[in-house]
A and B are shown apart, each in its own frame.
Chain A
Amino acid sequence: MSELTAVGKPIQRVDAEEKITGQAVYGYDLVLPDMLYGKTLFSPKAHARIKRINTEKAKAYPGVVAVVTAEDAPWTHGETVKDKPFLAQGKVRCIGEPVAAVAAEDEDTAEAAVKLIEVEYEDLPVYTDPEEACKPGCVEIHEDFGKYRKADFIVKGAAPNVAEHFKLRTGDVDIGFKQSDVIVEERYFVPIIQHAAMEPHSAHAQFDKESGRLTIWVANDAPFRALHEITEALGMPKEKIRFINPLQGGGFGSKGGLKVEPIAVALAFHTNGRPVRVKFNREETFISTLTRHEAVVYSKTGVKKDGTLMARAMTIYWGAGAYAEKSPTVCIRGSLPAPGPYRIPHVKVDGYAVYTNKPVAGSYRGYGIPQGAWAGEQQMDEIAKRLGMDPIAIRMKNMFVEGDISYWGEQLHAVGLKETLVKATEAIDWGKPTKTAKPGVKIGKGFACIQKPTRSPTTSAAGVLVNAKGEVTVLAGTVEIGQGCNTILSQVAAEELKVPLERVHMHQLDTDVIPFDASTTSSRSTYHMGNAVRRASIHAREQIMEAAGPMLEAKVQDLGYADGKVFLKDQPQQALPIGEVVRRKLGIHGKVRGDGSYTYEIGKDLDLETGHSDHASAFYMYATQAAEVEVDEESGRVRVLRMSAAHDVGKAINPLNCVAQIEGGVVMGIGSALHEELVIDNTGKVRNPSFLDYHLVTSLDTPELIPIVVECPEPEGPYGAKGLGEPGLAPTPAAIGNAVTDAVGVRVYDLPLKPENVYWAIRKKKKDAA
Chain B
Amino acid sequence: MKMNIQFSLNGKSISRDVPTHRLLLDLLRDEIGVTGTKEGCGTGDCGACTVFLNGKPVNSCLVLSGELDGAEIVTIEGLKIGPELHPIQKTFLQDGGAQCGYCTPGMLMMSKALLDENPNPSEEEIRFALAGNLCRCTGYAKIVQAVQDAAALLRNR
Contacts and interface: CB of A to CB of B under 8 A. Distances in A.
Do chains A and B stick together as partners? yes
Interface of A: 12-13, 15-26, 28-29, 31, 107-108, 195-200, 247-252, 281-282, 481-484, 656-657, 660, 663-668, 690-692, 696-700, 702, 705
B64 to A, nearest CB: 14
A691 B96 contact: no
Given A699-B127, A699-B140, 18 more contacts: A19-B104, A21-B89, A22-B36, A26-B38, A28-B38, A29-B38, A107-B30, A108-B19, A198-B102, A199-B40, A199-B100, A248-B100, A667-B138, A668-B136, A692-B43, A696-B136, A698-B130, A699-B144
A481 B98 CA distance: 12
24 contacts: A15-B101, A16-B92, A16-B101, A19-B98, A20-B93, A20-B101, A22-B37, A23-B36, A108-B19, A196-B136, A197-B100, A197-B136, A198-B38, A198-B137, A249-B100, A250-B102, A656-B96, A660-B142, A664-B99, A690-B43, A691-B43, A696-B134, A699-B127, A700-B127
Contacts of B126: 699
A699 B85 CA distance: 25
Contact of A22 (B45, B77, B127): B77
B138 A20 contact: no
Interface in B19-57: 19, 26, 29-30, 33-43, 45-46, 48
B101 A19 contact: yes
B60 interface: no
Contacts of B37: 22
Interface of B: 19, 26, 29-30, 33-43, 45-46, 48, 75-77, 79-80, 85, 89, 92-94, 96-105, 108, 126-128, 130-144
A21 B80 contact: yes
Given A252-B136, A482-B100, A690 B41 contact: yes
Contact of B139 (A31, A282, A657, A702): A702
Nearest to B100: A482
A403 to B, nearest CB: 35
A282 B25 CA distance: 15
A197 B137 CA distance: 8
Nearest to B96: A660
B136 A22 contact: no
Contacts of B40: 198-200, 282, 691
B99 A483 contact: yes
A250 B29 contact: no
B100 A705 contact: no
Contacts of A200: 39-41
Contact of A20 (B38, B43, B85): B85
Which 3 residue pairs spanning A and B have beta carbons closest together? A22-B36, A482-B100, A249-B102
Nearest to B39: A28
A16 B143 contact: no
Nearest to A707: B141
A26 B130 CA distance: 23
Given A21-B77, A250-B102, A691-B45, A664 B138 contact: yes
A20 B108 contact: yes
A666 B85 contact: no
A204 B119 CA distance: 44
Interface centre among A15, A29, A668 (most CB of B within 10 A): A29
A701 to B, nearest CB: 9
A18 B89 CA distance: 11
B33 A664 contact: no
Contact of B103 (A21, A198, A483, A697): A198
A112 to B, nearest CB: 13
Given A282-B40, A663-B141, A12 B94 contact: yes
Nearest to A663: B139
A699 B100 contact: no
Interface centre among A20, A199, A282, A691 (most CB of B within 10 A): A20
Given A483-B99, A692-B43, A698 B131 contact: yes
